[in-house]
Structure 1
């Protein structure tokens, strides 16, 4: 007599509880907050659109639990990996080398996929995962009948760098062999991030541009005490996680030190990864400036951005989505190292009239940043038009488009007209 354990073998289709659908998401999170924030937006939209869906997010972010997630979403936390500005990697917390940590992450990811048995799998940005850690799970889920989707942001890096990097990591082969769909979280008119990657025509035909991910103001209190200046018009200065934002913060503070007549005050959010030493130095200078305030970190920064009159930022994907969503005049100072992603996005957005851009003089080889250049740019924000005046139609339809796109694979129905209207691009 054969014992029935109640578990399907890996080669069998996933068996789900009646009336439920399961979506597994992967966010490798080796730098900053971008990946987990993007995954959060998508997960919240999926459970809102599909009331029977459960979303499980695999994440290495130590701050994943700080954000606002809807019912129906949970996490599996894997050991974190830290990425330096030079591009090298190390264990974020464990006293183990990166190879050992990667092996642990790979095993946890595979165990999660085998136990959860998802209908849909969505990976963020890295087809093979960090150092190939996803490949065993991708093969397993393929045998289960899971629909495997790779989602990438509007800009990855320069075409030459992405082509070389993905070739060296085997990511192109993994994407071709182990994924059913490729979603680009942007518009084809803005930028085509995969043009530099050689791939079969059949795979290129699977690329779908969803539009950008619209953000909304989260409910409930943020738990952060906002400065008094937020009760009137103000400029929000945000650097995301903050690990690479010291240059922008320093330039803004120096502008107010040089020109007390800048019309709007600024509220600076340092980000959780700005070093304590840099934060202390900035606070000492801010204490002497009547028009500058600061907070450390706001997990519901959408609330603060919605209040702001204008935004100064570096140009990461999530901040760009928020600028468009809340229709704020914005000044971007993109970094160009270790990736050119922010520079490409800011340059394109500036050319389209969506934002203004300032390049960091120090990154351009200059010895200093002129405070008056930033002061003039901050002053100009008061009269800068909102992005909506030049935004093309459908720019912010990413979240409903993604929810509709996956619908046939979790609910057995055809895509709605909004998906059909996205079109295929290559």
Structure 2
């Protein structure tokens, strides 16, 4: 095989950062454990460099998709390239095909669906037939039609041979594994939860101890109810004793209208705003509490850090976040309370945060080594070994 690359990782992109963050975590683990392997990540997510931070992972930037959410349902709109969503899918499909044809990777890891967003992976399946294609799927999929369609199953059977499942069957049970096995016709490899934070911690081992902040609040992307929620948070934090310490709110401050949001917190000297990036993970580790949205990535982060947290849900139609947060709340005391973002009250937020500030997170047995386990699995397929370390 005329391969110029060991592992190529494709990350689905659109609105949230979960898909890209998992992919970055696995890529970082590959580069750390197997420095002799060549690894590339391809995605349209424009914040990828910030997610990688100081890690040694190279990536190729595609023009990015953009997704709006209305009534819990997402739909594609023109991204920063100002190219129509569906047209962009076709153009990116040709880009990805050319990348695969040029690099001829030994292993290709696709996140979320075997066909890719807007079926953009399909043309690449016709080139580099020797490439071993692996599908990576999160712990709880939810009712995502593109994952559970007959089309996805047909695409998988024609081009893929393996599934990496980023979950822990001892936590979520075997129902999701059985469903995936029945749909795709293979037994998934149970890798464990993938945490980018776990990998970035290897880069921050010599960080000096600092005084803990009261809490961090993560709102990585704005939705329909974000402005109302932040107004409630401003009222909440104004009623919590400043003796607990400072609060940091992480948002994409480059989004239009972010300045208006910041104004809601005028007069709260113990509250500051930060751009989403690697510093969030450092502050999370040094925090007494957190407010996060219930995406896979954020839930994994607070479990790794052992930070008691309030989890907010956006009410998406696929039901993934509700199901996943409920499962983890039964297994990890890092998930203290779960609320719908549109209906949570100031009183509930204040009571929940004070509770988080005064509790300690218990030890748990959830497998959070998914990035490392996935990296070893992929390295074996690519012909790497522990001798590469």
TM-score bin (small chain):
0.7 to 0.9
Retained in 2: the 8 A contact 1:110–1:136? Answer: yes
Q: Are 2:161 and 1:180 equivalent residues in the alignment?
A: yes
Measure the CA separation in 2 of the matches of 1:147 and 1:188.
25
Higher normalized contact order (CA 8 Å, seq sep 6+, divided by chain length): 2
| 2:50 and 2:278 in contact (8 A); partners too | yes
User: Does the 8 Å contact 1:249/1:268 carry over to 2?
Assistant: no
Q: Is the 8 A contact 1:25 1:121 kept in 2?
A: yes
The higher radius of gyration belongs to 1
Q: 1:316 aligns with which of 295, 315, 318?
A: 295
Within 5 Å, which residues of 2 pair with 1:51-70?
A: 51-68=35-52
Counterpart in 1 of 2:372? 400
Instruction: State how 1:24-423 maps to structure 2 within 5 Å.
Output: 24-68=8-52, 73-86=57-70, 87-141=74-128, 143=129, 145-157=130-142, 161-162=143-144, 164-168=145-149, 170-191=151-172, 192-193=175-176, 195-196=178-179, 199=182, 203-205=185-187, 207-214=188-195, 215=198, 216-217=200-201, 219=203, 231-243=211-223, 245-257=226-238, 259-261=239-241, 264-272=244-252, 275-277=255-257, 279-354=258-333, 355-360=335-340, 362=342, 369-386=344-361, 389-392=362-365, 395-411=367-383
1:292 is displaced (CA, Å) by 2.4
Distance 1:339 1:26, change over 3 A: same
Deviations 1:254-273 (CA, angstroms, capped at 9, x unpaired): 2123x243763452334217
**CA distance change for structure 1 residues 168 and 380 in 2, over 3 Å: closer, same or farther?**
same
- CA 289–357 in structure 1, closer or farther in 2 if over 3 Å, else same: same
- Aligned-partner Cα distance in 2 for 1:350–1:140: 44
Is contact 1:14-1:119 (8 Å) kept? no
User: How many residue pairs align between the two structures?
Assistant: 372
2-side partners of 1:152 and 1:200: how far apart?
13
Separation in 2, partners of 1:238, 1:295: 10
**What is the RMSD computed on CA atoms of the aligned residues?**
2.8
CA deviation digits over 1:92-137, x for unaligned, max 9? 0233322321111000000000001101100111210011110121
2:231 and 2:264 in contact (8 A); partners too: no
Q: Deviations over 1:196-245 (max 9, x none)?
A: 557368x232x01111124243748xxxxxxxxx8444111112344575
Between the aligned partners of 2:308 and 2:374, the Cα distance in structure 1 is 27
Report the Cα distance in structure 2 between the residues aligned to 1:273 and 1:25, rounded to whole angstroms.
28
Following superposition, the deviation at residue 343 of structure 1 comes to: 1.5
Matches of 2:293 and 2:55 in 1, distance apart? 32
Counterpart Cα distance in 2 of 1:96 and 1:412: 40
Q: Is the 8 A contact 1:248 1:333 kept in 2?
A: no
SS in 1 for 2:83: coil
Q: Contact 1:31/1:83 (CA < 8 Å) preserved in 2?
A: yes
Inter-CA distance 71–384: structure 2 relative to 1 (3 Å threshold): closer
Question: Partners of 1:186 and 1:290 in 2: how far apart?
Answer: 40
> Are 2:40 and 2:60, in contact at CA under 8 Å, matched by a contact in 1?
yes
Contact 2:192–2:368 (Cα < 8 Å) also in 1 = yes
SS in 2 for 1:391: coil
In the superposition, the TM-score normalised over structure 2's length comes to: 0.86
CA distance in 1, matches of 2:213, 2:307: 12
* Higher mean C-alpha deviation, range 115-124 or range 301-310: 301-310
Contact kept, 8 Å, 1:267 with 1:295, in 2: the verdict is no
Give the Å deviation of 1:177: 2.4
Against the structure 1 CA distance between its residues 117 and 211, is the aligned structure 2 distance closer, same or farther, given a 3 Å change threshold?
same
Residues 133, 288 of structure 1: CA spacing in aligned structure 2 closer, same or farther, 3 A cutoff?
Answer: same
